[in-house]
Structure 1
Amino acid sequence: MRRVLGAVTAAAFLGCAASREAAQPTPASPAPEPAKVEAPAEAQAPKLQVPVEYYKLDNGLRVVLSRDTTVPKAVVGVYYNIGFRIEPRNRTGFAHLFEHMMFQGSTNLGKMELARLIQKNGGMFNGSTRFDFTNYFEIVPSNTLETMLWAEADRMRGLEVTEENLKNQQGVVANEVKVNVLNRPYGGFPWLDMPQVANTNWYNAHNFYGDLKDLEAATLEDVRAFFKTYYAPSNAALVVVGDFEPEQVKGWVRQYFGPLPKAPVPQLPDISEPRQEKEKRHDLKDTRITRPAFAAGYHMPPVGTPEFYAMALIDEILLQGSDSALYQQLVQKKGIAGELSGGVNELGNQWNYNGPMLWTVYLFHDTVISPETIAGEIDGVVAKLVEKPVDAATLARARVKARSRLYAQLEGMLGFGRADLMASSALFFDDPGRLNQLEDELMKVTPEVIQRTAREYLRSTNRTVLTVSASPQTMLAE
């Protein structure tokens, strides 16, 4: 995760790609064989086929199982269909505050007892708040899987909501805001600041980390109502990845989660964004910095459209890696910056959100370089995508990079990456097997679709330019 709201970082390997078949010797032939036309290398590559079993309990809980016996471990994840962009008005940061509350104890486990239980068994755990979901997960030895399922069902059944716990976590989150944003150079640039200035719909544009006065105003009744509304099995997905016996796990899931009562599924607010017709500019002042910062955010195509998949390849062509066009122009040729950062969904990845999103590029530069110069250089690079379709070599390289990135996301963090994509897809699309179609969708993208996508979504009038300059600090208006 580039920026985190309670996430951990780790790296590991989890084999999930289809294996290659061993090459067979070609038998000798008495006559010369006619020359064969070889298919492109990318067409011959094995396709991702992650095992997925999906079903629902009577109370509405979505259950996703994906068996992998590579190592004796298991990932348990519970995803709730509530993220910070659909939290209640006048309660900015409430979804994130509630994430903290979920570690304060449950019906049968006291405060921090779940943490001690996981750690004593050699596991790791965490939770995070994202645009469209809040998640909780454990990565543990597979022989403790039943215990983890029981523990997650226990806190879904009943959270220990007390005034003491609430006040304590209000203080923790307030300090987190101060440390990570208010008292840090560049603060929330651009992951927190850009959505607030690029979007127009309050749900997408409010300060989701939380205004301190809103955090302090949250009451015990607010917490209890929030839990009852959003933390029901009918608003959640359970995912299990790793070394287990499917029928045994199904029995445990039925035993521990099955008795939980069904609740009405909360109606989600309208989070749509209008088409942007004019470039936006916003400058933040920061007394703690010595170098200016520049970010450009472009509204993304709707999820699942051909243009959406085209943006995954455009991201590789323009921004990702030292071979990318923007890196070559701004870093190698012009020396405007030492590195570039950004991409789709700064708080996750291209595949684990559902709603309006931004493609962002950002950098830090010397004071002699103006924002207009940087924006002009970006426009010059984008113009090449608009003027003519990309060549075959560029498209092939982008596909390889995009596939590599997808595999890395799936294999990351001891199997959590696979669990994340399946759980979010179950929540948003009722289809955790969607990850097995992503490669095919990327392969369908043609040069013409890339050209069309760049023309509509990388136009300057679809862009918000956010800068940070070294002068007295001003606060972002809601």
Structure 2
Amino acid sequence: MIQHGRLKRAALFAAPLLALAIPAQAAFAADPAAKSAPAAAVHVPVEYHKLANGLKVVISPDHSVPTTTIGVYYGIGFRVEPKDRTGFAHLFEHMMFQGSQNLGKAEFIGLVNKNGGVLNGSTRFDFTNYYEVVPSNTTETFLWAEADRMKGLDITQANLTNQQEVVKNEVKVNVLNQPYGGFPWLDLPQLANSNWYNAHNFYGDLKEIDAATLEDVQAFFKQYYAPNNAVLVVAGDVDPKQVMGWAKQYFGVIPAAPKIVRPDISEPRQTAEKRIEKVDPLAPQPALAWAYHVPPKGTPEWAAMNLIDLMLMQGNDSRFTKVLVNEKGYGGSVSGGINWPLGNDYDYNGPMLWSGMIIHSADVSDDTILASIDGIVKDLQTNLITPAELERAKTKARSKLYDVIGDGNRVGLVNLLASFALFDDDPGRINNLEQEIGKVTPELIRKTAQEYLRPTNRSVIDLKPGKKAAADAGQ
């Protein structure tokens, strides 16, 4: 399933970001002007290998908990799914649980459950992932099971028809038949982006989901679900040498697919604000959503944008919450972030948005809220932030990182390692993230805000409640 914020908050760094190891109020109760103690350097043990068939293998031993987290990430997400087959990447995620060469339908899930483990999968912009957290003494079993479905998925018309209905029902439940369904995580990319690959309906048009044929599924599997388009991450209570032996034994025999030709997913520089109105017949209150294109990933400005997100959007001490919620009382909360709500700052590979939303009372106009947002942004573009505020943002960033890396289920850790291997060919980058955070200066924050938070780089959606929903809310 596509995992998103209001319904199935992703466990891949996105959820831990909201549950910091140290609550924000407690972490920053001290004098903000005081110098913080030197941050402990993150060091995650990382072994990185590549098999002859192109499979990337990342191993991170950690013997603190007798479990293993196994993740298999395929370099295909909904951003690059075939045209006229919207929702196909998500449909195929479901197909991967329908049985393989040696495990029948639902037997993979049953095998995890019988061993007291947990599992899940999701479809994102640039990957589809599958993971399980299992007792470490079953590591070999689940490496075999993952290899079994990579090698020989059971693709039948009956399974396809069944999952087409499951996906269509998921769309109806999660988007079409609930208030604010798809708002704004589906709506904003379609408005803000110009390139079809970044701007189509990622959940998929119901007619196009129906149109998928067995031949489509077979071709999709052969092209994208191959070892040379995948990363295997094994983190936990394991012996790396033993894991590599199993990886070669079970995955090494799977043939590589022809090299994938990637489409152009670049976006032109936005030069004029985009704004539309959407009527939601089920929404009881109006809402406002906005998005800005972020700097290219990995640049100094991108690192600064991560801290801008923390200062403006994240936590009770953020500027948006202080002004829009606490001072003005426009709504109960502000939500948003980079790659929100499907992922985090790191697990994507292409153009991305920094987006936000607020459900607000009917007696305040969207223009009034936007004026307040513009005032907050203008201050950031004009004045240098204080060293204390910058240090607070950096502390937040480090706290998020520590929380993910130190989480007992290691799912967030696996997600970072897989993303860095898949997109950067460098899972060891995880140990440089603190340095990237530390290099950001007040001058860089201001420069980044001036270029990327300009009104001409913004897209806005005014959501209006349907008449019946509004009348019911009034009653």
Q: Which residue does 2:422 correspond to in 1? A: 427
Q: Which residue does 2:58 correspond to in 1? A: 64
Equivalent of 1:89, from 83, 91, 102? 83
Change (3 A) 1:214 1:12: closer
* Bigger Rg over Cα: 1
**Matched AA of 2:326:** Q
The answer as to whether partners of 2:179 and 2:284 remain within 8 angstroms in 1 is no
**Matched AA of 1:307:** E
Deviation at 1:273, TM superposition (A): 0.6
Change (3 A) 1:49 1:356: same
Does the alignment pair 1:3 with 2:5?
yes
Does the alignment pair 1:443 with 2:438?
yes
Q: C-alpha separation between the residues in 1 aligned to 2:404 and 2:235? A: 15
* Structure 1 residue runs without a partner (length 5+): 18-38, 474-478
Q: C-alpha separation between the residues in 1 aligned to 2:4 and 2:210? A: 28
Equivalent of 1:227, from 218, 221, 229? 221
The answer as to whether partners of 2:93 and 2:123 remain within 8 angstroms in 1 is yes
Q: C-alpha separation between the residues in 1 aligned to 2:466 and 2:174? A: 20
Q: C-alpha separation between the residues in 1 aligned to 2:408 and 2:162? A: 30
Question: Residues 92-124 of structure 1: CA distance to partner in whole angstroms, max 9, x if unpaired?
Answer: 000000000000000111100111111001101
Equivalent of 2:264, from 250, 267, 270? 270
Q: Which residue does 1:32 correspond to in 2? A: none
TM-score (norm. length: structure 1): 0.91
Equivalent of 1:175, from 163, 169, 172? 169
Q: How does 1:64-463 map to 2 (within 5 A)?
A: 64-346=58-340, 347-412=342-407, 414-463=409-458
**Matched AA of 2:240:** P
Q: C-alpha separation between the residues in 2 aligned to 1:267 and 1:411? A: 37
**Matched AA of 2:5:** R
The answer as to whether partners of 1:114 and 1:151 remain within 8 angstroms in 2 is yes
Q: Which residue does 2:31 correspond to in 1? A: none
Deviation at 1:472, TM superposition (A): 6.9
The answer as to whether partners of 2:11 and 2:411 remain within 8 angstroms in 1 is no
**Matched AA of 1:147:** T
**Matched AA of 1:360:** S
The answer as to whether partners of 1:4 and 1:128 remain within 8 angstroms in 2 is no
* Structure 2 residue runs without a partner (length 5+): 22-33, 469-475
**Matched AA of 1:319:** M
- How large is the RMSD of aligned CA atoms in angstroms? 1.9
* Residues 283-292 or 133-142, more deviating: 283-292
Question: Residues 187-210 of structure 1: CA distance to partner in whole angstroms, max 9, x if unpaired?
Answer: 101111111111110000000101
The answer as to whether partners of 1:294 and 1:465 remain within 8 angstroms in 2 is yes
The answer as to whether partners of 2:234 and 2:414 remain within 8 angstroms in 1 is yes
Tell me the secondary structure at the aligned position of residue 151 of structure 1. Answer: helix
Deviation at 1:389, TM superposition (A): 1.3
Change (3 A) 1:5 1:199: farther
**Matched AA of 2:201:** N
Q: C-alpha separation between the residues in 1 aligned to 2:150 and 2:171? A: 27
Q: C-alpha separation between the residues in 2 aligned to 1:357 and 1:260? A: 34
Tell me the secondary structure at the aligned position of residue 241 of structure 1. Answer: strand
Tell me the secondary structure at the aligned position of residue 409 of structure 2. Answer: helix
The answer as to whether partners of 1:7 and 1:128 remain within 8 angstroms in 2 is no
Q: C-alpha separation between the residues in 2 aligned to 1:187 and 1:272? A: 28
Change (3 A) 1:254 1:430: same
Q: C-alpha separation between the residues in 2 aligned to 1:145 and 1:332? A: 49
Q: C-alpha separation between the residues in 2 aligned to 1:441 and 1:171? A: 45
Q: C-alpha separation between the residues in 1 aligned to 2:421 and 2:108? A: 26
Q: C-alpha separation between the residues in 1 aligned to 2:174 and 2:408? A: 23
The answer as to whether partners of 2:313 and 2:336 remain within 8 angstroms in 1 is yes
